[in-house]
Chains A and B, each alone.
Chain A
């Protein structure tokens, strides 16, 4: 499945929720289900410090594709990480680098990627792309 197709799938999943709180219940669930980052990567150099919440990101290239694992101390941040990883995992570095992640806008979660939120997510996306570029 391409990045675009995965994004469309997520948009469809969210379409059934008419209420914000339902939407967030689903995000919280995703956050709880997010496979945890290997403890050995939960170190200072993998840490992306936000003002509000923090994110740990580990990226590597496996064969031709990028593999990401991440974690956060906030569950909503984790839920959004789960979505980002689902979209960008197993994709080529070139595709990761040019992904516009427009689905976040469509499902109404772009506010979490606004720099004013300072939750580490903006920097995380930047870092995912940087890692992809370095591995291209």
Chain B
């Protein structure tokens, strides 16, 4: 793909042209896609990268001497380099390709988990999604470690004093979401990382929701691990990344055994390959990795300050318009949040509201957002979530508002 120049400012109408799906219809209505927290849509360059790979470039990587294999290996490793540059990792071999955020977290829970002993403590937070809860529960069960949970306020902000008090020399790892998928809260992970390091604990940032909305510099954050999914950053499904600090990754045993992760294999003894291959057993999602690289090349063309300002404008506008509807109750009103709005219509089930909005062409998520403890915290079965990406518009917010008013009339 040709190198694209960074655009100045942000023009949503131009950006929308890059995403073919935004111009499709559902039930004969224009699609209003407000479920970007679940997955983001793909720009044409990503779709083309997938297409071109299978049409012209497909071969297995890291093992052939023939032309195509060398070429596809080059593309795959170049994608790793692109991601390294984008997140400012020290070295490209610290960027591990995985299946996604869940896989990245499980890798750490298993491999880093091998270094965890009975009585050690793992800290997560009250606003985690299931992927950042269950792997740690499984680890604690396996090793006899203790899981601690940072509480949050009704506004959806973490109790940082409680966090400080939880940290001690037994804390082995803290794993907290950068941005809450259910509430939109942006957590102050940089400060939290420094606090964890002060007691010698490692820190994993779950970046599943953050890369879509903001830029990330892993060295500036000083995190030990950073996990994210490709499909939420405009790349394909089935691929994701785990960034890790070099010394931490080197100290960890491999996760899965198989091809590519070995140096030598005999029936008596196998020696393991170096980073990143040590953690990448088997033929990976080659096309996924390459197209994820393309997604980041595409993102690199944006002036992200302008993107963030635009998303903030969209969030403020949507919040203000929703507030005008008296039946709306908000969940998650943190001071620092991204363009994710969780709400309920008083007296109405989210399933009903979501099903009717769907028939108006409006895609929102309803339910517990794979974060049941968050719903339990508010004693609700779930919420309706409108999550905006930079390609959404104020006109789409207006359609959501009109749709909601119509739905409320129908249901009451």
| A74-B349 in contact given A51-B368, A52-B382 (Cβ < 8 Å) | yes
| B352 contacts partner chain A, Cβ-Cβ < 8 Å | yes
Shortest CB distance B161–A (Å): 35
- Is there an interface contact between A74 and B406, defined as CB atoms closer than 8 Å? no
Within 348-378 of B, Cβ neighbours of A (below 8 Å) are at 348-352, 355-356, 359-360, 366-368
| A75-B368 in contact given A21-B359, A24-B359, A53-B349 (Cβ < 8 Å) | no
Q: Which single member of A54, A74, A118 contacts B352 (CB below 8 Å)?
A: A74
Bound CA–CA A77/B359 (angstroms): 15
Q: Which residues of A contact B351 (CB under 8 A)?
A: 52-53, 74, 76-77, 119
- Is there an interface contact between B366 and A52, defined as CB atoms closer than 8 Å? yes
Q: Which residues of B contact A77 (CB under 8 A)?
A: 349, 351-352
Residue of B nearest to A50 (CB): B351
Bound CA–CA A75/B410 (angstroms): 11
| B6 contacts partner chain A, Cβ-Cβ < 8 Å | no
- Is there an interface contact between A21 and B410, defined as CB atoms closer than 8 Å? yes
Within 35-66 of A, Cβ neighbours of B (below 8 Å) are at 51-54
Q: Which single member of B349, B381, B410 contacts A24 (CB below 8 Å)?
A: B410
- Is there an interface contact between B410 and A76, defined as CB atoms closer than 8 Å? no
Q: Which single member of B27, B381, B411 contacts A28 (CB below 8 Å)?
A: B411
Q: Which residues of A contact B360 (CB under 8 A)?
A: 21
Q: Which residues of A contact B355 (CB under 8 A)?
A: 24, 76, 112
Bound CA–CA A21/B403 (angstroms): 11
A7-29 Cβ-contact flags toward B at 8 Å (1 or 0):
00000000000001100110010
Q: Which residues of A contact B406 (CB under 8 A)?
A: 21
Bound CA–CA A53/B359 (angstroms): 18
Shortest CB distance A136–B (Å): 33
Residue of B nearest to A77 (CB): B351
Shortest CB distance A28–B (Å): 6
Residue of B nearest to A119 (CB): B351
Shortest CB distance B346–A (Å): 14
| A73 contacts partner chain B, Cβ-Cβ < 8 Å | yes
- Is there an interface contact between A21 and B349, defined as CB atoms closer than 8 Å? no
- Is there an interface contact between B27 and A75, defined as CB atoms closer than 8 Å? no
- Is there an interface contact between B349 and A51, defined as CB atoms closer than 8 Å? no
Q: Which residues of A contact B27 (CB under 8 A)?
A: 20
Q: Which residues of B contact A112 (CB under 8 A)?
A: 355
Bound CA–CA A119/B382 (angstroms): 12
B400-412 Cβ-contact flags toward A at 8 Å (1 or 0):
0000001000110
Bound CA–CA A25/B359 (angstroms): 12
Q: Which residues of A contact B352 (CB under 8 A)?
A: 28, 74-77
Bound CA–CA A83/B308 (angstroms): 48
Bound CA–CA A112/B348 (angstroms): 18
Q: Which single member of A21, A51, A52 contacts B356 (CB below 8 Å)?
A: A21
Q: Which residues of B contact A118 (CB under 8 A)?
A: 367
Q: Which residues of B contact A53 (CB under 8 A)?
A: 349, 351, 381
Bound CA–CA A74/B351 (angstroms): 6
Bound CA–CA A52/B351 (angstroms): 6
- Is there an interface contact between A28 and B368, defined as CB atoms closer than 8 Å? no
Q: Which residues of B contact A76 (CB under 8 A)?
A: 351-352, 355-356
Max chain B Cβ within 10 angstroms of own Cβ: one of A52, A73, A77: A52
Residue of B nearest to A73 (CB): B349
Shortest CB distance A78–B (Å): 9
Q: Which residues of B contact A20 (CB under 8 A)?
A: 27, 359
Within 379-398 of B, Cβ neighbours of A (below 8 Å) are at 381-382
Shortest CB distance B407–A (Å): 9
Shortest CB distance B35–A (Å): 14
Max chain A Cβ within 10 angstroms of own Cβ: one of B355, B406, B410: B355
| A52-B367 in contact given A20-B27, A25-B410, A77-B351 (Cβ < 8 Å) | yes
Bound CA–CA A21/B359 (angstroms): 7
Shortest CB distance B360–A (Å): 7
Shortest CB distance A121–B (Å): 11
Instruction: Give me the 5 closest cross-chain CB pairs, A-B, nearest first.
Output: A74-B349, A20-B359, A74-B351, A53-B351, A52-B351
- Which residues in B have some Cβ–Cβ distance to A below 8 Å? 27, 348-352, 355-356, 359-360, 366-368, 381-382, 406, 410-411
Instruction: With A53-B381, A76-B352 given, name 10 new contacts (CB 8 A).
Output: A21-B359, A25-B410, A28-B352, A51-B368, A52-B350, A73-B349, A73-B381, A75-B348, A75-B349, A75-B352
16 contacts between A and B (CB under 8 A): A20-B27, A20-B359, A21-B356, A24-B359, A51-B368, A52-B366, A52-B367, A53-B349, A53-B381, A73-B381, A75-B411, A76-B355, A76-B356, A77-B352, A112-B355, A118-B367
